[in-house]
Structure 1
């Protein structure tokens, strides 16, 4: 039985996911309650982006730990780059007013922003590393 594929690994991974969800919710609530801004960005937006990226990074460990570098160009190009651009689009529009898309904020709300963050971190890890 492989070390990263045993029952104990998946049990510990699931406990870690529960802990990440619990503290992630507290983190996003804390960021929502802050009223200050950081370089013209709201803290709630930063909290949602960071939580989505952290959860996607943790989700990439479901198949095991990264073993060696192997770049998978189609996954990086067609999944990571668009999802990452859609994730940071609200930050880009704060500084660059010329690329504002009118219907973006009606389509993409809080849950979708989390999934874009999760998808971008997961696809970045899977396109850069192979697992054991």
Structure 2
């Protein structure tokens, strides 16, 4: 199969035992996307929070990222609490995530961005630092 147009396709395979009286014994259908060219990298322009650092623990902080391109961009959010990086939101079209840190400390927040058709792990990323303090008494 050599597709010639950018499109969403479905590929199906039917199987049958040669002695079966059924038209088909089993089948599988998969979705397949063809694009014309390798997508250009997406550039991340900004990562910001709705509350400035430092903040107290157990409060919701919205992290928002912005990238250059109208369509086709996907975002992945990471948080490092000093013990290592953890994915807190896998790649999606959602450019925000709500973070509720439960421990005081110095954190790093990273956002990856890429084109949805890219075979690269990431096109661009940014890291910001954020400090969380214990609740005031």
**TM-score of Structure 1 vs Structure 2, range by shorter chain:** under 0.3
Higher strand share: 2
Larger helix percent: 1
TM-score (norm: length of structure 2): 0.24
TM-score of the superposition, structure 1-length normalised?
0.24
> Which is greater in Rg?
2
Q: Which has the higher contact order (CA 8 A, sep 6+)?
A: 1
